[in-house]
Amino acid sequence: MQFESSMGTANRNISLRAMRVFCVAAKRESFREAAELLFLTSSAVSHQIKQLETDLGIKLFERAPRSLHLTADGTALYDDIRPLIADFDSVITQHTRTQQLRSLRISVQPFFASELFVPRLPEFVEQHPDIDISIDTSDESPEKHPTVADVSIRIFKSPPDTLAFDLLFPLRLMPTASPGFFEGVRVRAGRIIGEFPLVVHESRPKAWQKWERASRIKVPNHDNSIRLDSMIAVARAAERGLGAALVPKQLSDSWIESCSLVRLFDHELVTKDAYYFVSRKEDQNKEEVRVFREWVLQNFADDR
């Protein structure tokens, strides 16, 4: 058989779809099985093959009541066209990769996102270009896994048993302030002397009182405070010299290293809360969740 001649001069309108149908039917030697694999009816497959035989001017199959076999011409065509179809599919796959991306919706509390998560995120993106991620950092509330998220990194007071979870680290709050504020702090007989305005996170209105009891250092003027609804705002207010702030130790390395904030005292408030990586139990074995969990644990789980 001279396949190139018949294809080059007989009919240039032979469809790629017909060739694909032929290859599947030839491999299976069954129109019915080809129809099931291609989500077509058996009659549709039969029609495609008959049209292809007409267009090529050759007989491709020997048909019997209970069997189907390739003719010599059909075998020659199959051997020629099969690698071309495979190459074509490979090219199409390469150029449609973005449509095949797995998606992962991530919710991260804002301060964790800005100080730890986002700075290290390029590493994960580079390692897993096939995962299309979207990140929500708008929700400050603790002990909540948003329904729209596949995974989240959030504060919980105790392990969230209704979810799949991994402990990252316990929340430890350290007293900080701007360098200028620090220079004016004086302690005498276990008591801070003079003005000591506080910057308070609204979700932890009693944190300074707890730190005071644990450290045995008396803090004056608990009423002299600024209350803010996000930890980022709390840290920024302290950086600007508006008062002393309790900020998460594990999330504040860059602030301390840059001297935007300085530690006021060595004593930290060890809370009952901790950061957890969580997902729904039914999602934990999904490939994109699994690889992201491994990356999070490798980068953020510690006992600092």
- The residue-averaged pLDDT of 43-52 equals 88
Q: Residue 235 has what pLDDT?
A: 95
Q: pLDDT, tens digit, for every residue of 132-172?
A: 999 998 877 788 888 889 999 999 999 999 999 999 999 99
Cα–Cα distance measured from residue 68 to residue 66, given in angstroms and rounded to the nearest whole number = 7
Q: pLDDT, tens digit, for every residue of 210-233?
A: 999 999 999 987 677 899 999 999
From the list 35, 99, 92, 33, the residue with the least C-alpha distance to 67 is 33
Q: Which CATH number fits domain 171-272: 3.40.50.10790, 3.40.50.2300, 3.40.190.10, 2.60.40.1180?
A: 3.40.190.10
300: amino acid identity, one letter: F
E strands, 109-163, in order: 131-136, 151-156
**CATH number of the structural domain 102-161+280-300:** 3.40.190.10
Instruction: Name all contacts of 256-261 with Cβ < 8 Å and 24+ positions apart.
Output: 256/176, 259/179, 260/178, 261/176, 261/177, 261/178, 261/235
Common-topology check for domains 102-161+280-300 and 171-272:
yes
Cα–Cα distance measured from residue 111 to residue 248, given in angstroms and rounded to the nearest whole number = 9
- The residue-averaged pLDDT of 206-211 equals 94
**CATH number of the structural domain 3-97:** 1.10.10.10
Given a contact cutoff of 8 angstroms between Cβ atoms, the answer to whether 213 and 207 are in contact is no
Is the full-model pTM beyond 0.85? no
Given a contact cutoff of 8 angstroms between Cβ atoms, the answer to whether 214 and 269 are in contact is yes
